Chains A and B, each alone.
Chain A
């Protein structure tokens, strides 16, 4: 309930959350298709702030 309240705080918030969600899925897809470990780690690093922002944890 608190999440929904925060996610609809303004008309732009759900749109931006959708953009972040699409980016998260695309980054995960990229990580899964990468063969190099370094590229997978970089993808994982990028996922940290994206997922936390998507969950509105931070």
Chain B
């Protein structure tokens, strides 16, 4: 047992040292921890374990890169900007519909890519100025976008933490749509009510919000399109063609599920790739290679974390640390496992939600076998995702703060606004986790 404990402590210590003290990317931290794990266990002569581990999340890697390219194509073609402008123009005078539409818009990229970063860096940046224009204080608007990004990451159809947890216990990513909707939708509605109350209080929820929506959405992008350097033209895109790529994606995703084996499933990356090509013809002219590069640039940090997390988990398995964690988790009294999940997943997720899903999520799910694993994994994914808004890294609030003036001060203010909603989200995840069997029965 002691060799496993020593290896585990060294790996976690390296991880924290590289990520929190040296402030290096989470991908490097997980990979460094894997190398140290091999070194401590005397297996440094077996570097092929690192390569083996790098393939651990290859499917997820392809989904993320293709989804990011799709989002980049939508952004470069001006489709995201156009849709957000249309939504807010028609809903500007009505706080609750405006809040709900904003929430849906922020969540969409997270739902499609399984990454809160994608949501915060794409539609999040369009929605933020629109909300400020509607009278919401900047910090609260930023907090709302952060919450939307987190909930989007958890909502179906793509939930990467669940995929990671599932791959750890050989559970296929099937039948998660309803449980994930059950976790995400109430949280999204309550967050929207919270924002609508803010808009009402400000008394500015008038048509001004609608009139200023397109201008605000355009201003959010700066003078040039991000990444591509193409100047913004600001002109509107007429007609319904802006909806074509998104509708095509939904038809492909749900069509293959409804049709069963009648239509061969080409895989999610293929669907995103086809719709990315479609997006390039449904908006303003786009330079295809610029959109691909922009998408890959956005995806690379997340892809790095997945490769690093794969190495980390592989070395944990080789050294026996993973088995030790599973056995230890099984030894904990069942009622305490819920408390451990409530604390450990978000805290570990503060460094990387994906790494937290892998390192903490898998043993906790094993300790809770028989507790309706599908609903349990859905709740655990929300707990892990919450880590993306926790200090010291506070990934999502930091990204949102970067997109507005006075970034550092804004980050602190956003974090203050996130305390109560963050605690409520964690409690909601705890409730779903604790009563997972009953919820599973209810959902059929």
Q: How many A-B residue pairs have CB under 8 A?
A: 71
Q: Contacts of B66 on A, CB cut-off 8 Å?
A: 19
Contact partners of A43 in chain B: CB under 8 A: 300, 304
Q: Using A26-B296, A38-B25 as known contacts, say yes or no to A48 and B269 having CB atoms under 8 A apart.
A: no
Q: Are B51 and A23 in contact (CB under 8 A)?
A: no
Residues of A within 8 A of B301 (CB): 42
Contact A26 B27 (CB under 8 A): no
Question: If A23-B296, A26-B292 touch, does A38 touch B303 (CB 8 Å cutoff)?
Answer: no
With A19-B273, A26-B292, A49-B307 already in contact, the answer to whether A42 and B297 are too (CB < 8 A) is no
Judge whether A29 and B31 touch: CB under 8 Å.
no
Which residues of B have CB within 8 Å of A39? 25, 300
The verdict on A58 contacting chain B, using a C-beta distance below 8 Å, is yes
Contact A30 B31 (CB under 8 A): no
Is B317 interfacial (CB-CB < 8 Å)? no
> Would you list which residues of chain A between 6 and 24 have a CB under 8 Å from chain B?
12, 15-16, 19-20, 22-23
Question: Once bound together, how far apart are the Cα atoms of A46 and B30, in whole Å?
Answer: 13
Q: Looking across the interface, which residue of chain B has its beta carbon closest to that of A22? A: B292
Q: Is the CB of B28 within 8 A of A46?
A: no
- Does B58 touch A at the CB level, under 8 Å? yes
Enumerate B93-115 residues with CB–CB distance to A below 8 Å: none
User: CB < 8 Å: which of A12, A30, A38 contacts B270?
Assistant: A12
A46 touches B267 (CB 8 A): no
Q: In this assembly, does B62 line the interface, its C-beta being within 8 Å of a C-beta of chain A?
A: yes
| Contact assessment for B54 and A42 in the assembled complex, using a CB-CB cutoff below 8 Å | no
The answer to whether A49 touches B58, judged by C-beta atoms less than 8 angstroms apart, is: yes
Known interface pairs A27-B296, A38-B28, A42-B300; A49-B273 also in contact (CB < 8 Å): no
CB contact between B55 and one of A16, A19, A45, A58 (< 8 Å): that residue: A58
Nearest-Cβ distance from residue A18 to partner chain B, whole angstroms: 9
Does B293 have its Cβ within 8 Å of any Cβ on chain A?
A: yes
A sample of 13 more A-B contacts (CB under 8 A), given A16-B269, A48-B51, is A12-B267, A15-B270, A20-B62, A23-B65, A26-B293, A27-B296, A39-B25, A42-B301, A45-B307, A46-B304, A49-B51, A49-B61, A58-B55
Can you give 14 contacting A-B residue pairs, CB < 8 Å?
A12-B266, A12-B270, A16-B62, A23-B62, A26-B295, A27-B296, A27-B300, A41-B28, A42-B27, A45-B27, A46-B303, A48-B307, A53-B55, A58-B55
- Mark B residues whose CB is within 8 Å of A: 24-25, 27-28, 31, 51, 54-55, 58, 61-62, 65-66, 266-267, 269-270, 273, 292-293, 295-297, 300-301, 303-304, 307-308
